[in-house]
Amino acid sequence: MSDKKVRVRFAPSPTGGLHLGGVRTALFNYLFAKQNNGDFVLRIEDTDQSRYVEGAEQYIIDCLNWCGITPDESPVDPGQYAPYRQSERKSLYRQYAEQLVMQGHAYYAFDTAEELEKNRKEIPNFQYGQVYRDGLRNSLSLPQHEVDQLLANHTPHVIRIKVPADQTVGFTDMIRGRVSFETNQVDDKVLLKADGMPTYHLAVVVDDYLMKISHAFRGEEWLPSAPVHLLLWEYLGWKAEMPQWAHLPLILKPDGHGKLSKRDGARLGFPVFALDWEGSQGFNGMGFLPEAFINFLAMLGWNDGSGHEIFTLTELVDKFSIDRINKAGARFDFEKAKWFNAEWIKKAKAESLKAKVKEVLTDKGIDVKDDAYLITVIDLIKDRCTLLTDFYQQASYFFQIPAEYDLNAVKPKWSDEKTAFFNEFISILNKQEDFTSANIEAEFKLLMEQKSLKPGDVMLPFRIMLVGGKFGPHVFDIATLLGRDETINRIEQALAAFTV
């Protein structure tokens, strides 16, 4: 790597929710920057104002903050290369487009939208480029005096790059190695639109140069744009300053066929956004920890070669290497995503989960007053939770008596003998001085032996009395946490329901 300071940018368009593929691109940018003591820049590419969505920029910022990959420079925390919204940099771009026209590398095109549409309908595979440009309305085909008159009259026009014929252009991709393109396959892309706004092609080159971007990570879907960008870096005289590029593999649908889309999430019932967005539930809303989400994303197309899968963000910064990024697409596996989340919940300290679990319970109408008690509950049940939302089912009975019981698991085999057993057990609990899990279990099993009952006869009913169903941690640990009075109260209420 050169001595040039590492500066990377994540440059999304504020046109909607931030797809998880975009978050992964941001993550890889962040990891590379931090590993090399560099800068991670957020630049908002909002040149297409027709597609601008109110609130999308703030959503992008919120997503990055939730993931823990906050930019060093951004529209809300600008550095020396401000502004960081392309719409606010509009005045910068025309001079470079005009420079390209003066040098003969670009030209004015006056064709109307209707004229272009007519060509597309009449000419199969029509492209505005080497084959057809001389027959269209532009400064290459029209006499100079006519061009001057059209410009003087402020006739709407765009500026297009003049792609040369019969050339091969290429670059060395940090992931894919040498990549080459034939210019005969490339059309003359618009660089500056009629409203004076640059297109992505011009803006990304100008901004990467002015912001001194050293490395550019972007999805492989941008590879077809690379020849235009290569030509622009050369024509503007900045070839020596061009960033090193890395085109990341696609995130594929669960079946491995095609790029994962927002529609796939809706169709198959999993999130594709980090945070909730306009009625679509995100990973956050579904109950994922940001640490798990980031860990899962990092492993989509990358591994460190060790076979390990659980990494903190700090460990990812330390372990990340571009040569371990796969060229092939990475198949999205929601079950694997949930596995990561379960592992992160297990390793999390109860104190760090407290606020999130309290929010889950509060949303379900459970008022948690004792934080110390909540922490004890979390420690007891967190190994059973895959999503944060699972804490409601796994924890609710510690705060409120079950609203209903799994009677189908109890009533068919219920008997007077079992009713007598639990009534006697209540008497034993009332006399017990040291109400601990071990003592409760010992008394329960002793009484069971005295009554010649098997564990299957009374253990499950006891669990259902306390919990309402066939789930939860060790039943005697549950009783201990509930306390003597509440345990007795629940046995009595359940007996009434079991013997109806």
d(CA 8, CA 39): 6
Q: Report the distance separating Cα 146 and Cα 331, nearest Å.
A: 55
Is 263 buried (19+), middle (13-18) or exposed (0-12) by CB count in 10 A? Answer: exposed
Q: How far from each other are the two terminal CA atoms of the chain, in whole angstroms? A: 78
Residue 417, helix vs strand vs coil: helix
Q: In angstroms, rounded to a whole number, what is the distance separating the alpha carbons of residues 202 and 191?
A: 5
Closest CA to 334 of 251, 284, 271: 271
Q: Which residues are annotated as a binding site for ATP?
A: 262
**What is the edge-to-edge ordering of all strands in the sheet holding 39-42?**
39-42, 7-10, 215-219, 244-248
User: Does residue 182 sit in helix, strand or coil?
Assistant: strand
Detail the residues annotated as belonging to a binding site.
262
Distance CA 120, CA 460 (A): 72
At residue 454, the 3 state secondary structure works out as: coil
Catalogue the active-site residues: 262
| 349 vs 196: CA distance, rounded Å | 54
